[in-house]
Amino acid sequence: MTLEDSVPTVDLPTLEQTAELAEIFHLMGDPSRLRIVLRCLHADVAVTDIAQSLGLSQSSVSHHLRLLRVARLLRAERRGKQVFYSAADHHVRGMLGDMVEHISEGKGGDT
């Protein structure tokens, strides 16, 4: 069984989809921002908590959070004085989860 058999027709994403995908990758491409996303992937976390646990400034975290929120990767929910951030939806969790898995496996694989 060749590779082509298991990958019959590989519809490449449209230019628009590619641009959208690139935007997501671009956001995840910054280490601080990626750590923030991962921190919020499976839990609601307040801004101060994120900053403290990752050793980043409140301002920096807030700036990053705005980008992630606008891009709909994270969602914000205010409770009292605090704002809790979490993954926007299961697609975000799925994407990142898959990536993390691949990275964990990776390291020595070839085709």
Partner DNA sequence: CACATATATGAGCATATGATCATATATTAA
Partner DNA sequence: TTAATATATGATCATATGCTCATATATGTG
Residues near DNA, by CB under 7 A? 26, 29-30, 32-33, 46-48, 56-60, 62-67, 76, 78, 80-84
Residue type, 54: L
Q: How far is it, in rounded angstroms, from Cα 111 to Cα 11?
A: 21
Closest contact distance (angstroms) between CB of 108 and DNA is 24
Angle CA 105–74–28, to nearest 5: 45
Residue 91 near which of DNA, its own copies, none (CB within 5-8 Å, type-dependent)? its own copies
Per the DSSP assignment, residues forming a β-bridge with 85 are 45, 76
Q: Which spans of this chain sit near its own copies (rule: CB under 8 A)?
A: 3, 7, 10, 12-13, 15, 17-31, 34-35, 38-39, 41-42, 87-91, 93-95, 97-100, 102-106, 109-111
